Chains A and B, each alone.
Chain A
């Protein structure tokens, strides 16, 4: 009898220890780190914060978690040192469990290292470099939405197939531009094309006339824009001005977001071919979600990067609830075990190297006459199935993959 009492007491003591909230303070704190004020603010920025809030709302409604969820946000100013500083402060002093978004590959690489050191979780949606799931992969990092390899193989291969076999790159001179140029060069060469030259341009340059002139002089059929945001907009606007397309060359926007097209206007952007994994008008689910989003952001429709934040937050919270813990490394491991399912990308999964896998789509920008109104900018050219859209696991050089 006494033994049974003792055993019961021991069992209860153990159970009490295990049942103690493994979610620190019973609060899951999410940090949305983005470019809130400069050239990538429309791609991520306040829109990403809204997407995260929507994900939290939907998760709480559908899954009734026991823990509370809080959101904080910060501006990394496109500087890796500022981004790491904010990440450290969040992890060390403010109890943030996971960081999301981070458009700007330089900042993302830095934050990924900080997250690895602190054993938290980093769910990237905005940054592009495929190194995040390649040579710099981490057990604490998940890469949603897109990456430079996907863009290179979507857009790059498609353009070479239609005859654009000589290329000249205008490259943003930092981690992202170099990664995009490298991955696209490989894709172009694999498809039988040649790269005639490239020029490195400082980030946030206003005037591209000089570089477009060099591209013109190279006589390459395709001018690859390995840049994004404001840089891409300026490049495309000024290319129209300098008669690049009339002179027989074509532009390849390797990373183009919906908000960029909005800023350039269909007049100048028509015919541009781009790869995006999300577009508001893709199907009923994306339409419903995007209308909800736009209603809360004065009519601005979401980019794939902002939509990816929603998907990332949702999946992260599901994983936290599944293992009842906010320990970064364990949650990321759980995110790789659970299949993903959301109105943004549909059904998908997260691979060993942290790469989120789902279909990608090749789009063409509509002519002004084909558009029924603002934000109606894309028509679908092709669907790239999930198993072809991203770099094969064995090719990444990720040390986590055995």
Chain B
């Protein structure tokens, strides 16, 4: 088949944009799953909550998109802290599967409640004034909003990576997940750090939801379609590796974009094919060490 270079470049750019969503979402999950070893199946529902909180802020409090970007992560972090303090902390002594069941159940409850109240068709949320319109790049029309998402996502991902891998606070966190009792003996309040880290991860999920609201449907099911893909990204990138999730997120977005051009019917399964191959060839993931 004839490959048109402009069309292909357009698809690659789109793939990069989608990759930035995957990276942002998998970042939060990588922090929670990769570092804390909590299997947070509620991540998709928390992403959905973020989008809904953004909608609420606009429609009930008159606070627009930029306010949402600031407030949504804070609100979701508080929600995350509440979940951790009230429910998850009781399960740490048990098998990890219990955490999975709890968060999965939580996701179902949240999605069910929201579907009951809001239906499945979703709610409209507009692109903010300053970001509407786009640039005509010749080979494609790039919406300003999507360009903004790539840049913002890159900044947040690299910022988080820096904080965890290069700062003292981050080193405490990494040490605490490897050997909690030792670190606690040194006087670091490990349980509080775990709580705050979980809250941070959930805040990141909510932020991704706020980014998604103007372009994807704000619907109760928006998280359930993404959550499995995001888990695949974290597994492929390697558990415990923040950079792994970021690189894999962007990379997978591009590969998915190419698949949509050459063989669109497979675009929703290609990520899992890759995950299966990675697990067979290098089970610790592309960047993982354990």
Contact = CB atoms under 8 A, between A and B. Distances in A.
Contacts of A45: 120
Contacts of A233: 121-122, 217
A39 B4 CA distance: 34
Contacts of B4: 217
A265 to B, nearest CB: 3
A207 B18 contact: yes
Interface string B1-18: 000101100110011011
A258 B102 CA distance: 37
Interface in A293-350: 300
B216 A206 contact: yes
A263 B141 contact: no
10 contacts: A42-B121, A199-B264, A201-B267, A206-B217, A206-B226, A209-B18, A214-B7, A238-B215, A241-B145, A263-B217
Contacts of B134: 241-243
A262 B217 CA distance: 12
B223 to A, nearest CB: 10
Contact of B121 (A200, A230, A268): A230
A237 B217 contact: yes
B11 A210 contact: yes
Contacts of B268: 202, 205
Contacts of B14: 209-210, 213
Interface of B: 4, 6-7, 10-11, 14-15, 17-18, 112, 115, 119-124, 126-127, 133-134, 140-141, 143, 145-146, 215-217, 219, 221-222, 225-226, 257, 260-261, 264-265, 267-268
B264 A201 contact: yes
A393 B219 CA distance: 40
Contact of B124 (A201, A242, A268): A268
Given A242-B143, A268-B124, 12 more contacts: A45-B120, A199-B264, A201-B267, A202-B264, A202-B265, A202-B268, A210-B260, A210-B261, A230-B221, A243-B133, A263-B122, A263-B217
A227 to B, nearest CB: 13
A378 B222 CA distance: 27
Contacts of A211: 260, 264
Closest 3 pairs (CB-CB, A-B): A265-B124, A263-B121, A41-B120
Contacts of B119: 41-42, 259, 300
Interface in A151-200: 173, 199-200
Contacts of A199: 264
A353 interface: no
Contact of A210 (B120, B133, B257): B257
A214 B261 contact: yes
Given A210-B261, A234-B217, A247 B120 contact: no
Query: Residue among B126, B222, B267 with the most chain A CB within 10 A?
Result: B267
Contacts of A205: 267-268
Nearest to B141: A243
Interface in A258-302: 259-260, 262-265, 267-268, 300
A104 interface: no
Q: How large is the interface on A (under 10, 10 to 19, 20 to 34, 35 or more residues)?
A: 35 or more
A217 B119 CA distance: 35
Contact of B120 (A173, A217, A230): A230
Contact of B140 (A202, A213, A268): A213
Contact of A213 (B7, B133, B145, B216): B7
A217 B141 CA distance: 11
Contact of A260 (B112, B121, B140, B264): B121
Contacts of A267: 124, 126
Contact of A234 (B115, B216, B257): B216
A364 B180 CA distance: 63
A213 B11 contact: yes
Nearest to B269: A202
A277 B115 CA distance: 27
B140 A38 contact: no
B221 A247 contact: no
A259 to B, nearest CB: 4
A216 interface: yes
A106 interface: no
A241 B225 CA distance: 21
Contacts of B18: 207, 209
A318 B86 CA distance: 56
Nearest to B10: A213
B166 to A, nearest CB: 33
B181 to A, nearest CB: 43
Interface in A222-237: 229-230, 233-234, 237
A85 interface: no
Contacts of A229: 120-121
A204 interface: yes
Contacts of A209: 14, 17-18, 146
B15 A243 contact: no
Contacts of A264: 124
A211 B257 CA distance: 10
B265 A173 contact: yes
Contacts of B112: 37
Interface in A25-55: 37-42, 45
A241 B217 contact: no
